[in-house]
Amino acid sequence: MAVITFTSRYVFQSVHRLPAVNENKHGHHFYLELSYRGADKAVADQSYREFVEPHFHGREVRVVEPPTGEKMVEWIHAQLLKSPLAPFLVAVALQETEKNRYISSRSEVAFV
C-alpha cells in the first residue's frame, strides 16, 4: 500500500526589517507549507500552533537574524523537528511574496 504525502498550508502575518538593505519595517502574509507522511492533520495543526505560530503570527520577527525568508524557513524546520510532527515531516516551504518561496534545505528533493 502506498503512503500518501499530505501538505497543510498555514498563513501568518508578521513584520520584519532587513537591516542589510537599510529598509523600514514592513509586513507580509507568510504562507507556510508542511508536508508529511503517516501523520494525522491534527498533529500538523498542533505542531504549527505550538512551535511556529507563537513566534511569528502578529509579531515582529525577532527569533531569526537576519529575518529573511531563507533564514525563517530553516528556523521553522528546526523547531518542527522538536514537535510531534518530527518523525513524519518531509518538507517545509515558506512563501513570503507572490514571487518568493523558500524551501528548507532539510526537505526531500521531490518537494522542491
Cα separation, 14 vs 98, in Å, equals 16
Which positions ≥6 away from 19 have C-beta within 8 Å?
66
Tens of each residue's pLDDT in the chain, 112 residues: 678 899 999 999 998 877 666 667 778 899 999 999 999 999 999 999 999 999 998 888 888 888 888 999 999 999 999 999 999 999 999 998 888 899 999 999 776 5
Which positions ≥6 away from 17 have C-beta within 8 Å?
23, 24, 25, 26, 60, 67
Domains defined for the chain, CATH in brackets = 5-16+27-111 (3.30.479.10)
Assess contact for 85 and 78: CB atoms under 8 A.
Answer: no
Assess contact for 67 and 15: CB atoms under 8 A.
Answer: no
